[in-house]
């Protein structure tokens, strides 16, 4: 888009050209700036097209094409998280509900820079939705699944959505001197539909004599690929190799290289409810000490937020099952009630706590308290977005 086409209606630019960048910043930090020239407010109120609202109220900072106005004209230092709305990798993970909150309440509401003004007074909810619809057209690559499909992560069921995050999960046996199984999971989104995953387990076990053994378990490296994504559903496949890095003399790890494969499916339901499924198999290269297994997991849940910028609670209920490919084996089936909650304003740090209860083959399979701490580092540093 030629820059000249968009210049006439840029209220913000006119405004700060009039007062200069220094004053712009002062005004921004002391009051919620209105749609730039207050005199133009009625004009802004009358706009209905998302594109017109964007050019009038947003382009001064975000640039006529959404890539950001030039540094020379905006008069503030762009924060590291300053969006380029044409960059699909940056914008598609963001939910409409979060953008709505940012536009209505300003950057501060979600722990972002307060330079992003609040448009609570200037724009009606319908206008905010219209401008978001316009922002969504700026990413032209349709292969990126929408962020709404990034459902809350259950404790055991793997998500279908490819993302960048770090998760520490721990399962602690609910008994005396409990065993602890923990895992550091690192996920890195490589492209629109591909994601790398590395999982490093760490266990603290008690051997037959009651001695405590601890160590790194079998490290897994996987590649996830989205095979299908619609407005409300997403399906992915993942292949992985699990290396025999565990200390088998201490009873940790299988001692054999294993190939794993699974499919994950997520489906949005009405009223912020969702279901997620995972079906997969682990195939050890030798079955002397490890068995081939088939596993499936299912989670159903719902997200509840008091308001768009408040804490989000996601109660979930999971079924977890695995079965060895051995004659006469019966499936282990566990139920895992749990809830996830966001810890900070930006909602990119979350915890989930649940209780895993075996319902079959209960001998030697204690109930476990399972929890994780998740850091969606795509959205910022661990200590960002708390205030
Ligand atoms: C005074 C400058 C300014 C104006 C005017 C402005 N923004 Fe922003 N906006 C920002 C800044 C700065 C950020 C980045 C905040 C951060 O990342 O800390 C931002 C961030 C955003 C985000 C968050 C993007 C993300 O990836 O989470 C959205 C959405 C947004 N703006 C939409 C709009 C819309 C829509 C308008 C017009 C109605 C608008 N902005 C007007 C400065 C502005």
Query: Angle, nearest 10°, between helix axes 11-19 and 50-57?
Result: 10
Q: What are the pLDDT digits (tens) for 325-342?
A: 888 899 999 999 999 999
CA pair distance 272, 314, nearest whole angstrom: 10
**Rounded distance from Cα 351 to ligand 1 centre (Å):** 28
Q: What are the pLDDT digits (tens) for 101-160?
A: 999 999 987 788 899 999 999 999 999 999 999 999 999 999 999 999 999 999 999 999
Tokens found for residue 226: 């989205």
**Rounded distance from Cα 11 to ligand 1 centre (Å):** 15
User: Is the beta carbon of 56 within 6 A of some atom in ligand 1?
Assistant: no
**For the CA atoms of 251, 257, 263, 268, what is the dihedral angle to 10 degrees?**
40
**Rounded distance from Cα 107 to ligand 1 centre (Å):** 7
Q: Among 108-112, 166-170, 174-178, 323-327, where is mean pLDDT lowest?
A: 174-178
Q: How many residues does the chain have?
A: 387
Residue bearing the CA closest to ligand 1, atom 36: 58
Closest by CA position to 31, among listed 109, 104, 111, 117: 117
Residue bearing the CA closest to ligand 1, atom 39: 58
CA pair distance 357, 335, nearest whole angstrom: 5
Closest by CA position to 215, among listed 226, 228, 201, 229: 201
CA pair distance 349, 343, nearest whole angstrom: 6
> Domain 147-379 adopts which CATH fold?
Porin (2.40.160)
User: Is the beta carbon of 266 within 6 A of some atom in ligand 1?
Assistant: no
**Rounded distance from Cα 83 to ligand 1 centre (Å):** 7
Annotated domain spans of the chain? 3-137, 147-379
Mean pLDDT (the chain) is 85
Select from 52, 56, 62 the residue to mutate for testing ligand 1; criterion: most ligand atoms less than 8 Å from CB.
Answer: 62
pTM (two decimals)? 0.84
pLDDT at 379: 78
């Amino acid at each position: 888009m030629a820059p000249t086409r968009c210049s006439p209606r840029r209220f913000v630019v006119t405004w700060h050209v009039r007062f200069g960048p220094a004053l712009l910043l002062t005004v921004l930090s002391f009051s919620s700036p209105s749609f730039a020239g207050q005199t133009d407010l009625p004009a802004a109120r009358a706009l209905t097209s998302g594109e017109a609202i964007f050019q009038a109220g947003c382009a001064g900072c975000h640039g006529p094409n959404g890539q950001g106005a030039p540094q020379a004209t905006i008069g503030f230092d762009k924060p590291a998280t300053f969006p380029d709305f044409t960059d699909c990798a940056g914008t598609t993970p963001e939910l409409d509900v979060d953008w709505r909150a940012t536009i209505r309440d300003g950057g501060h509401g979600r722990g972002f820079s307060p330079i992003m003004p609040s448009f609570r007074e200037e724009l009606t909810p319908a206008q905010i939705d219209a401008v978001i619809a316009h922002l969504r057209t700026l990413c032209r690559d349709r292969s990126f699944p929408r962020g709404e499909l990034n459902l809350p992560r259950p404790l055991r069921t793997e998500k279908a959505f490819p993302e960048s995050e770090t998760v520490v999960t721990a399962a602690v046996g609910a008994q005396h001197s409990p065993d602890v199984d923990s895992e550091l999971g690192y996920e890195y989104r490589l492209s629109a539909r591909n994601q790398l995953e590395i999982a490093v387990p760490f266990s603290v076990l008690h051997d037959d004599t009651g001695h405590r053994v601890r160590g790194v378990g079998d490290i897994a490296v996987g590649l996830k690929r989205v095979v299908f994504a619609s407005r409300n559903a997403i399906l992915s496949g993942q292949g992985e190799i699990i290396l025999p890095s565990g200390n088998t003399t201490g009873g940790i790890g299988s001692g054999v290289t294993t190939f794993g494969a699974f499919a994950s499916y997520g489906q949005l339901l009405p009223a912020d409810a969702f279901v997620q499924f995972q079906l997969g198999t682990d195939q050890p290269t030798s079955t002397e000490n490890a068995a081939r297994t088939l596993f499936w997991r299912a989670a159903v849940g719902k997200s509840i937020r008091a308001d768009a910028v408040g804490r989000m609670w996601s109660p979930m209920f999971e079924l977890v099952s695995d079965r060895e490919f051995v004659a006469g084996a019966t499936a282990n089936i566990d139920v895992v009630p749990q809830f996830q909650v966001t810890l900070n304003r930006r909602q990119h740090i979350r915890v989930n706590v649940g209780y895993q209860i075996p319902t079959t083959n209960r001998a030697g399979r204690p109930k476990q308290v399972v929890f994780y701490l998740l850091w969606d580092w795509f959205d910022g540093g661990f200590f960002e977005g708390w205030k």
